Amino acid sequence: MKINKTRLKLRFEKFLKEELWQHILVIAFVFTCAWLFDKYVEAVMFCVAHIVIRKYFDKQYHSGSIAVCMFITLSVVFFGVAYALPTAISLLSTIPMCFAISWVGYITQDRIDNLRNNKILQNELDNALAKISYYEKLNIYKMSETELRQYGASRGLSELQQDIIVMRVIEHLKISEICRYRNYGRSTIKYHIAQIKQKLDIETI
């Protein structure tokens, strides 16, 4: 119980120090726009509709910068109040407008989250590959043909380069024998062997 009170106290203090001024600014701006466009009722309806509708979306765009967030919020308020139809024409004009705003916010944040998640996954994959030790790389001589081909493919070897490393490591063929078997020139095979060494970060095969 004491822990919960402490948490509530900390949250309240954080609200007073970091968030209260933002709410005051937004509310003041709403009343300013309502006065500017003479749309007091419409401004209130817009705010209520926006607060209610955005809760039905799993996420909304949030910037890491308070200044950017405030600029977007105030811009949404300004144009929302400005383009809200007078209540004499429509009582529900703010609903589709707020739905569209929330939908754009959801799509934007969803795309940002996907890009961030893809970047995290790519970094994890790169780190996993980077953790392959020099000793593990030398273990290509203990791999089966299937394991060797899979490992080579994960390191970017082409099918021809996979064939070459299999012939060198598994079948122990000489370069001249590979040339005769694959009907390639010696310079071509040597080029691919150099590529294999670079991609697998090994000194010799």
Summarize pLDDT for 45-56 with one digit per residue, the tens.
999 999 999 988
Closest C-alpha among 62, 36, 13, 49 to residue 28: 36
The structural domain count of the chain equals 2
What is the structure's pLDDT at 124?
85
Same structural domain, 147 and 85: no
Phi/psi-derived region of residue 63, left when phi > 0, alpha when psi is between -120 and 50, beta in every other case? beta
Same structural domain, 118 and 79: yes
Same structural domain, 124 and 149: no
Which residues span the domain enclosing 16?
A: 2-129
Same structural domain, 109 and 144: no
Closest C-alpha among 176, 143, 177, 148 to residue 163: 148
Is 117 a domain residue?
yes
Q: Is the pLDDT of residue 129 over 80?
A: no
Q: Which strand (E) or helix (H) includes residue 147?
A: helix 145-154
Same structural domain, 28 and 42: yes
- Residue at a domain's end among 110, 129, 148: 129
The CATH number that applies at residue 145 is 1.10.10
Same structural domain, 76 and 140: no
196: buried, middle or exposed (CB in 10 Å: 19+, 13-18, 0-12)?
Answer: buried
Phi–psi pair at 118, nearest 5 degrees: -65, -40
- Report field, pTM of the whole predicted structure over 0.75: no
Summarize pLDDT for 7-46 with one digit per residue, the tens.
676 676 676 677 788 889 989 999 999 999 999 999 999 9
